[in-house]
């Protein structure tokens, strides 16, 4: 009987477990069975405080962190679906529980930070590249300090500037046959010659630019100059380009100043390679030829008609003499002026001067072969000069040659025609305008004037203002293929 009692009473009581089977224990057992938990988990003890906490929470309704107690939590849980509802039931907040506007704000702040960092990096890179480009171009320029020192020694004999804001720049094309230029002719020990000399006058208002070519064969008074081996030459009346060969840039400047009475503010010396590279940098220049050219000395062979010249071809075109036209130096200078006008027009019409990406190759080509006085030996100085010229209308960029005629003692040389040459120099010196027209138009106008067929009364000119002097020349706006 005792055994029956023992069997009906269940297993022997566990000294560590209460003998009485409470209703909440049975409820917990049923929960395990319904959830499928194995009975082996039963011996695992739970914290004694847990039942009390659960009971207290049930009685007070404060066991849930959600406002409104268990009933309200169950109501909310029942109304929610998906991962957010499940997460809320376990009391664990997930990413989905965060407010949507907070997520958007966090993402926006994240991207703003990265955008700011990327922008700062790009600014630093651009600044570094810009500085490198500036230093490279600035370092390309060669400074001619010897000419500045020589001119300073002769300051007392130099002309006084008349219009302070106007600029007079002497452009000298070096005809040296040394180094890379050896293929263009005989090398006399690297001696320099002034193949092309242009006096560039920039008006004070920067509304016009006048480029006056000085023939290399023009007879001129050359002052006593200091040579490269520190010797002095005698004053002499001889061919103009002898000044550059004997005394370099300083002697050429002093010769021009003595001839014109115009104070030279700056000078630039450009060699052959600089000219070629500038033409290539603007992707060539278009010209039109009435007849084909085959000039072995100039390394040039071109058919007739419209065509685009690269740098090498352009150099041959402006240097060719015997194979084009009458073979005179006068005609060659006119061809040089027309080509320079086309080059200026190409740079302005294509926006090169206003486009840094296109301007850089031009500046790089120019500065590599450029020698200037200390006043123009930095990229900033050159940029200020170019900026002052970029708004000049192409029709106001004019090219002409000093009025000259064959020298009376030697027809192979030139001499100035007076008073025409003196009038031109006075106009430039006082920053007054000049006008240029094609040679054939000027000749026709002079014939009409001499024959009295100008269509004006004889006394009409007495009350009219002084007319603008007109010279044979061209402008950058002229189309070489329409002439």
Q: What is the pLDDT of residue 71?
A: 42
pTM strictly above 0.85: no
Q: What is the pLDDT of residue 131?
A: 57
CA angle centred on 157, ends 156 and 162, rounded to 5°:
90
Q: What is the pLDDT of residue 31?
A: 46
Kindly tell me if the per-residue pLDDT of 69 is higher than 50: no
When pLDDT is averaged across residues 270-290 and rounded to a whole number, the result is 86
Going by pLDDT thresholds of 50, 70 and 90, the confidence category of residue 13 is very low
Kindly tell me if the per-residue pLDDT of 287 is higher than 90: no
**DSSP letters spanning 315-337:** HHHHH--TTSTT--HHHHHHHHH
CA-closest candidate to residue 266, choices 375, 377, 143, 160? 375
CA angle centred on 478, ends 476 and 481, rounded to 5°:
130
Write the pLDDT tens digit of every residue in 309-349. 999 999 888 888 766 766 667 778 888 888 888 888 888 77
Kindly tell me if the per-residue pLDDT of 9 is higher than 50: no
User: Among 60-64, 138-142, 407-411, which is the least confidently predicted range?
Assistant: 60-64
Could you tell me the two tokens for 359? 């301007």
When pLDDT is averaged across residues 212-229 and rounded to a whole number, the result is 92
Whole-number Å distance between alpha carbons of 266 and 275: 19
Kindly tell me if the per-residue pLDDT of 370 is higher than 70: yes
Whole-number Å distance between alpha carbons of 223 and 252: 9
Q: What is the pLDDT of residue 398?
A: 93
When pLDDT is averaged across residues 103-117 and rounded to a whole number, the result is 71
When pLDDT is averaged across residues 30-38 and rounded to a whole number, the result is 47
CB neighbour class for 152 (10 Å; exposed up to 12, middle 13-18, buried from 19): exposed
CA angle centred on 170, ends 141 and 167, rounded to 5°:
95
Task: Work out the mean pLDDT of the chain and round it to a whole number.
Answer: 74
When pLDDT is averaged across residues 153-162 and rounded to a whole number, the result is 93
Write the pLDDT tens digit of every residue in 423-453. 999 999 999 999 998 877 877 777 777 776 5
Kindly tell me if the per-residue pLDDT of 78 is higher than 90: no
Q: What is the pLDDT of residue 219?
A: 96
Total Cβ atoms within 10 A of residue 26: 10
CA-closest candidate to residue 436, choices 465, 395, 466, 391? 395
CA-closest candidate to residue 333, choices 251, 440, 212, 220? 212
429 Cβ neighbours under 8 A, 6+ residues apart: 159, 162, 260, 261, 262
Per DSSP, the chain holds a count of helices (H) and strands (E) of 16, 17
User: Among 75-89, 140-154, 203-217, 287-301, which is the least confidently predicted range?
Assistant: 75-89
Q: What is the pLDDT of residue 72?
A: 45
Asked if residue 251 lies in contact with residue 144, where contact means CB atoms within 8 angstroms, the answer is no
Q: What is the pLDDT of residue 358?
A: 78
Going from the C-alpha of 259 to that of each of 226, 254, 418, 477, the distances in angstroms are 19, 9, 12, 30
User: Among 87-96, 121-130, 425-434, 445-454, which is the least confidently predicted range?
Assistant: 87-96
Q: What is the pLDDT of residue 422?
A: 95
Q: What is the pLDDT of residue 341?
A: 86
Helical axes 100-140 vs 356-368, angle rounded to 10°? 20
Asked if residue 427 lies in contact with residue 469, where contact means CB atoms within 8 angstroms, the answer is yes
When pLDDT is averaged across residues 53-69 and rounded to a whole number, the result is 43
- Output phi, psi for 307, to 5 deg: -165, 160
CA-closest candidate to residue 278, choices 172, 367, 175? 367
User: Among 313-322, 347-356, 398-407, 465-474, which is the least confidently predicted range?
Assistant: 347-356
CB neighbour class for 351 (10 Å; exposed up to 12, middle 13-18, buried from 19): exposed
Q: What is the pLDDT of residue 228?
A: 79
Write the pLDDT tens digit of every residue in 451-464. 765 555 544 444 44
352 Cβ neighbours under 8 A, 6+ residues apart: 282, 346, 358, 359, 362
Whole-number Å distance between alpha carbons of 95 and 84: 9
């Amino acid at each position: 009987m005792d055994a029956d009692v023992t069997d009906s009473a269940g297993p022997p009581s566990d000294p560590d477990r209460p003998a009485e089977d409470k209703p909440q224990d049975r409820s917990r057992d049923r929960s395990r069975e319904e959830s499928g938990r194995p009975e082996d988990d039963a011996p695992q003890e739970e914290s004694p405080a847990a039942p009390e906490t659960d009971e207290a929470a049930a009685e007070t309704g404060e066991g849930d962190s959600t406002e409104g107690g268990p009933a309200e939590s169950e109501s909310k849980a029942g109304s929610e679906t998906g991962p957010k509802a499940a997460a809320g039931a376990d009391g664990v907040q997930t990413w989905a529980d965060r407010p949507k506007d907070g997520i958007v704000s966090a993402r926006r702040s994240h991207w703003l930070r990265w955008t700011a960092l990327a922008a700062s990096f790009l600014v630093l890179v651009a600044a570094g590249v810009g500085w490198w480009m500036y230093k490279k171009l600035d370092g390309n320029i060669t400074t001619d300090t010897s000419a500045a020192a020589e001119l300073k020694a002769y300051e007392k004999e130099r002309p006084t500037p008349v219009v302070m804001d106007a600029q007079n720049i002497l452009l000298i094309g070096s005809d040296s046959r040394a180094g890379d230029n050896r293929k263009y002719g005989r090398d006399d020990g690297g001696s320099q010659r002034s193949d092309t000399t242009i006096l560039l006058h920039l008006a004070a208002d920067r509304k016009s630019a006048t480029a006056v070519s000085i023939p290399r064969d023009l007879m001129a008074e050359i002052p006593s100059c200091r040579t490269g081996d520190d010797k002095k030459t005698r004053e002499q009346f001889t061919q103009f380009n002898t000044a550059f060969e004997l005394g370099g840039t300083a002697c050429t400047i002093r010769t021009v100043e003595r001839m014109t009475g115009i104070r030279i503010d700056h000078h630039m010396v450009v060699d052959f390679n600089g000219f070629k590279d500038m033409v290539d940098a603007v992707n060539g220049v278009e010209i039109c030829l009435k007849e084909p050219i085959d000039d072995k000395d100039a390394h040039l062979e071109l058919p007739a008609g419209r065509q685009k010249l690269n740098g090498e071809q352009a150099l041959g075109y402006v240097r060719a003499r015997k194979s084009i036209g009458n073979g005179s130096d006068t005609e060659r200078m006119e061809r040089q002026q027309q080509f320079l006008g086309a080059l200026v027009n190409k740079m302005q019409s294509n926006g090169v001067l206003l486009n840094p990406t296109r301007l850089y190759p031009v500046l790089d080509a120019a500065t590599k072969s450029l020698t200037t006085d200390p006043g123009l030996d930095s990229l900033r100085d050159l940029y200020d000069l170019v900026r002052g010229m970029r708004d000049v209308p192409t029709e106001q960029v004019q090219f002409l040659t000093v009025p000259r005629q064959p020298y009376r003692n030697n027809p192979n040389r030139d001499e100035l025609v007076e008073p025409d040459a003196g009038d031109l120099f006075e106009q430039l010196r006082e920053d007054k305008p000049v006008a240029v027209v094609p040679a054939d138009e000027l000749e026709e106008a002079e014939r009409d004037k001499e024959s009295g067929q100008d269509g004006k009364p004889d006394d009409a000119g007495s009350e009219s203002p002084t007319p603008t002097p007109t010279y044979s020349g061209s402008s950058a706006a002229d189309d070489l293929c329409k002439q």
